[in-house]
Structure 1
Amino acid sequence: MELIPAPRAIEGRQEPAAAFGPGTTLWAAPGTERTERWLRATLGAALGLPLRPGPRDARDGVRLLLDDTLEPEAYRLSAAAGRGVEIRGGGPAGVFWGAQTLRQLLGPDAFRRAPVRPDTVLGVPHQVIEDAPRFRWRGLLLDVARHFMPKGGVLRYLDLMAAHKLNVLHLHLTDDQGWRIEIKRYPRLTEIASWRTRSKFGHRASPLWEEKPHGGFYTQDDIREIVAYAAERHIAVVPEIDVPGHSQAAIAAYPELGNTDVIDTTALSVGDNWGISSNVLAPTDATLRFYEGVFEEVLELFPADAAAFSEFVHIGGDECRKEQWTESVTAKTRIADLGLADEDELQSWFIGHFDAWLAARGRRLIGWDEILEGGLAPGAAVSSWRGYGGGVAAARAGHDVVMCPEQYVYLDHRQAPGEDEPVPIGFVRTLEDVYRFEPVPDGLTDEEARHVLGTQANVWTEVLEDAARVDYQTFPRLAAFAEVAWSPLPAPADRDYAGFERRMAAHYRRLDALGVAYRPPAGPRPWQKRPGVLGRPIEGPPPNR
């Protein structure tokens, strides 16, 4: 079958064997309840099947059980005539990933929300699939700060992630252009910081503006729902609250957070253009106490036991401009009092404060690779985005790493060199380019390579103004990325891209059934183009790893 991501091993014949139809029953052992619920609610709804409880030895049944001889996320799917389908997982997550494979085996109709061919009996090929992920962290970043994605869209993306066996959703919740999470003790963060009066349309060099307010935020109950929905699918949600840069929206709501001895922060509004704002947080005790209050509520909303990796909290830490600190007497005094050398060390102190604060509460800090500057506590992890260099340095220093280099897996970057690509920015990263991405760079020892937790694709939304644009930039490249993160692929040059393309022919039908507005292989459809909207192409190939 045309499975994506490709499993480790398949043995058996491909002719239909195990029947899957109105008489199919479902037996679930203790520990597999989440997958049992998902099968009835999702697969049962798609095919119009009740999947009633039945005995373990039912001839046409589906059996779910745990097997401690397997790795926690590994599974073994067996299908045979007269024996039904059995999914064994090393842990609850393994059983769930096996159920995702079963869905693919049943064809594209299994990806719909209601049956289009009721009472049809499908056949699952006679086979045994042995499978397990290469990486533990298989992530997707959604930037909901630049363009807000309503809660329903986030839940939809959790389903799309589950269908591709991805297990970490990194939610970029705050930035200069918007604050997207309700913090009850600071109501102006949603009253003021969650919306802007207008938005730049296209890259910041574009002369075009969308002259209407844009905004939105998630209530605390929305966040609880998102986290619970993700946990049912064995996905961790890692929140990002950006400090000390990318903070203009927060300063617009609470001017005392800014460098008030340098500029009149009461005149600031939420950012309406893209780029890096010079309005950064003031390095004061009051600012630290404010964000400690923010993080206290964040920790309650994102519990550490929701799913693997849910102990992490992302604090950003990137692209903090220092002009205001250079001019600020308050910042200069803080540097002198702490015995620091300069503003770069001041940023390191700021990050270090929250590293210690989170660690004292049993959580782990993760941030962009700039947080390496000045040193990190042993438990902190790094998202390596400026190429591989930060990740290599972090791994060699004993820090865990998530590889997400801009030059390879920033999915807002254009997918082809042609002029028809909507709002072309960044490097050309084709479907094949993403398929040949290698998360573990050359030169690491085995011990250092073990610090690479995994990899993540990032979807930034400055030029992605709605759900259709997010779909277009994300798919089909996320399918290639999912295979890179999950499957035991050979070296990039030796990967069977032609075989992947053949399997994608079947996968496009699944994406169609899911309603994904992906980029077709032949190029954008007429309504997917954005003629006349300026982007920012980068000339030349990305740097070598």
Structure 2
Amino acid sequence: MPDISPSLLASRPVVPRPAQVVPGEEGGLTLTAATRVSADPEARGTLVWLQRELGAATGLPLATGAEDSEIRLSVDPGAGLGREGYRLIVDDEGAIIIGNDPAGVFYGAQTLRQLLPAAAHRDAPLGDTAWTLPAVRVTDAPRFAWRGLMLDTARHFIPKREVLRYIDLLALHKMNVLHLHLSDDQGWRVEIRRYPELTRKGSWRTRSQVGVPRPGEEPEFEERPHGGFYTQDDIREIVAYASARHIGVVPEIDVPGHSQAAIHAYPELGEAGEIPVGQRWGIFEEVLAVTDGVVEFYKNVIDELLELFPGTYFHVGGDECPKTQWKGSETARERIRAEGLADEDELQSWFIRQLDDHLTARGRRLVGWDEILEGGLAPGATVVSWRGEEGGIAAARAGHDVVMSPTATSYLDYKQSESEDEPVRVGTLLRTEDVYLAEPVPAELTAEEARHVLGAQVNVWTEHIDTPRRLDYMVFPRLSAFAEKVWSAHERDYAEFEPRLLHHLTRLDAAGVEYRPVDGPRPWHTRPGVHGWG
């Protein structure tokens, strides 16, 4: 077990739990109007963040000072802290944060903020709060390199301001990947200059399915247009905002299935001519054609998006692709013959490999859902294992990197209790404790194979999440539990975590997060009469 002070964790609980917390002598540091802060050049980004965020909450100027400042930030790769690691030392004379890298300094500053009263997470001072940091020595580093959240912006559009808010919430929890699901049957959500119809036509639908019909019944619809998209400047802003908080943004453009909105905008992309943007939820037969023109179209889309997303990874979906249209398509049969493919599964693999080669030539790496394993995996591809652990196990054993995201423990649109009051109950039961206790690394992997597990992510599919309030309800506090799971290496005990989580909820209250109460939904959280599934 890590070196932890139970008394300090009880009075100032940190989420996610640090590796080592050693209390200092009695006392600590009280922030006042005279408190000054300083940073070496590599840590200046965190200095600016700390002055803005903590300054707003406390009303203190936190002026920049010299080397004798009370709060000092520095980067020291030689400190033996490990990737993204940090050390925070607080005593009567001041607070020092040393990071292995700029990200480590930032995470140390997040811990410092959590050691203050919960009001440190507000946007304006409340009054006469004593801003006292306890004397302590914290040494910490993450377990996994990939600690992610997927936001589905396609089914219900998530406005830019909400994306930025979620970046701050990810940063609060020391998470470092935001996966944006930007296209699907029900909407295309990002501006592409070369193909303006993608947003002019493909970014909105005439109506939206409400809930899931009972067996034998027809779906119900909200008869109101729904849509929205991010301009390229919006994306630049999102990416820059995330980067300043040491979060990488991974875009996803779903191919060759889940492409109905793109086909509506450019019918030549599909096998069935003109079709509407999707209005229902589910899996549909419409798929992309496998012509040279379609492949070139998506290469051009990727090239524009690579200008906006500078990170290593690009997600191409690859999931839930029916093969019915390909089986009846002469162009698909011709492609299978010309490429010497065995069947339609290998045809999908061929399509993905074209994009993998394109990304590799540009120094990037392709990511896809675990269906990209079918028909042969593209060299260098990273697999997000969602249909249980099996895809992740197979990919890791084949030498591919893996992000674990099995539905049973990672889908935050799944119901949080069996109560009829849960809004639009779908999927299997996924409580906060279930998220917390699930182990990301499959037990079947050897130590060598397990090195391919980059980490894990939770996914928020938004078919039934149509407002920011509902988004908060479904994501929190389960995201807080997940964040500790992927950051902290200690043996997890939910009985130990729960009291810290309850204190952590006071921070979420201060930040304005409308999380699900631990004792169940409030009346305004419910959706009477809207049926789900599972």
The aligned residue for residue 211 of structure 2 is: 202
Structure 1 residues 270-309: aligned runs within 5 Å: 270-303=277-310
- Offset of 1:16 from its aligned partner? 4.5
Structure 1 residues 371-520: aligned runs within 5 Å: 371-490=372-491, 495-520=492-517
- Offset of 1:438 from its aligned partner? 0.5
C-alpha distance in structure 2 between counterparts of 1:277 and 1:117, whole Å: 56
- Offset of 1:378 from its aligned partner? 3.6
Q: Which of 50, 53, 59 is the matching residue for 1:42? A: 53
The aligned residue for residue 190 of structure 1 is: 199
The aligned residue for residue 6 of structure 2 is: none
C-alpha distance in structure 2 between counterparts of 1:2 and 1:281, whole Å: 50
- Offset of 1:320 from its aligned partner? 0.5
- Offset of 1:127 from its aligned partner? 0.7
The aligned residue for residue 186 of structure 2 is: 177
- Offset of 1:55 from its aligned partner? 2.3
C-alpha distance in structure 2 between counterparts of 1:237 and 1:24, whole Å: 35
The aligned residue for residue 152 of structure 2 is: 143
Give CA deviations for 1:140-170 in whole Å, capped at 9, x if unaligned: 0000000000000000000000000000000
The aligned residue for residue 129 of structure 1 is: 138
Report the 3-state secondary structure (helix = DSSP H, G, I; strand = E; otherwise coil) of the residue aligned with 2:362.
coil
- Offset of 1:338 from its aligned partner? 1.1
Instruction: Detail structure 1 runs of 4+ shifted over 6 Å in the superposition.
Output: none
Give CA deviations for 1:322-366 in whole Å, capped at 9, x if unaligned: 111111111111111111111111001000111111001100001
Report the 3-state secondary structure (helix = DSSP H, G, I; strand = E; otherwise coil) of the residue aligned with 2:138.
strand
The aligned residue for residue 91 of structure 1 is: 101
Structure 1 residues 333-344: aligned runs within 5 Å: 333-344=334-345
Check whether the contact 1:14–1:125 (CA below 8 A) recurs between aligned residues. Answer: no
C-alpha distance in structure 1 between counterparts of 2:459 and 2:269, whole Å: 29
Q: In the alignment, is residue 74 of structure 1 matched against residue 74 of structure 2?
A: no
Report the 3-state secondary structure (helix = DSSP H, G, I; strand = E; otherwise coil) of the residue aligned with 2:42.
coil
Structure 2, gaps ≥5 residues long: 1-11
The aligned residue for residue 246 of structure 2 is: 234
C-alpha distance in structure 1 between counterparts of 2:502 and 2:455, whole Å: 27
C-alpha distance in structure 2 between counterparts of 1:110 and 1:210, whole Å: 41
Q: Which of 116, 120, 123 is the matching residue for 1:110? A: 120
Equivalent pairs, count: 518
C-alpha distance in structure 2 between counterparts of 1:374 and 1:322, whole Å: 13
| Matched residue type, 1:231 | S
C-alpha distance in structure 1 between counterparts of 2:20 and 2:434, whole Å: 25
- Offset of 1:208 from its aligned partner? 2.6
Q: Pairwise CA RMSD of aligned residues?
A: 1.1
Give CA deviations for 1:289-316 in whole Å, capped at 9, x if unaligned: 111110010000111xxxxxx2100000
Alpha-carbon spacing, 1:13–1:473, altered in 2? closer, same or farther (3 Å): same
Greater CA drift, 68-77 or 192-201: 68-77
Give the TM-score normalised by the residue count of structure 2.
0.95
Using the aligned pairs only, state the percent identity: 60
Report the 3-state secondary structure (helix = DSSP H, G, I; strand = E; otherwise coil) of the residue aligned with 1:127.
strand
C-alpha distance in structure 2 between counterparts of 1:533 and 1:16, whole Å: 55
Check whether the contact 1:395–1:448 (CA below 8 A) recurs between aligned residues. Answer: yes
Check whether the contact 2:349–2:374 (CA below 8 A) recurs between aligned residues. Answer: yes
C-alpha distance in structure 2 between counterparts of 1:117 and 1:382, whole Å: 50
Structure 1, gaps ≥5 residues long: 304-309, 538-545
Report the 3-state secondary structure (helix = DSSP H, G, I; strand = E; otherwise coil) of the residue aligned with 2:254.
strand
Q: Which of 203, 223, 226 is the matching residue for 1:214? A: 226
Report the 3-state secondary structure (helix = DSSP H, G, I; strand = E; otherwise coil) of the residue aligned with 1:432.
helix
Alpha-carbon spacing, 1:524–1:402, altered in 2? closer, same or farther (3 Å): same
The aligned residue for residue 5 of structure 1 is: 16
- Offset of 1:13 from its aligned partner? 4.3
Give the TM-score normalised by the residue count of structure 1.
0.94
Q: In the alignment, is residue 258 of structure 1 matched against residue 270 of structure 2?
A: yes
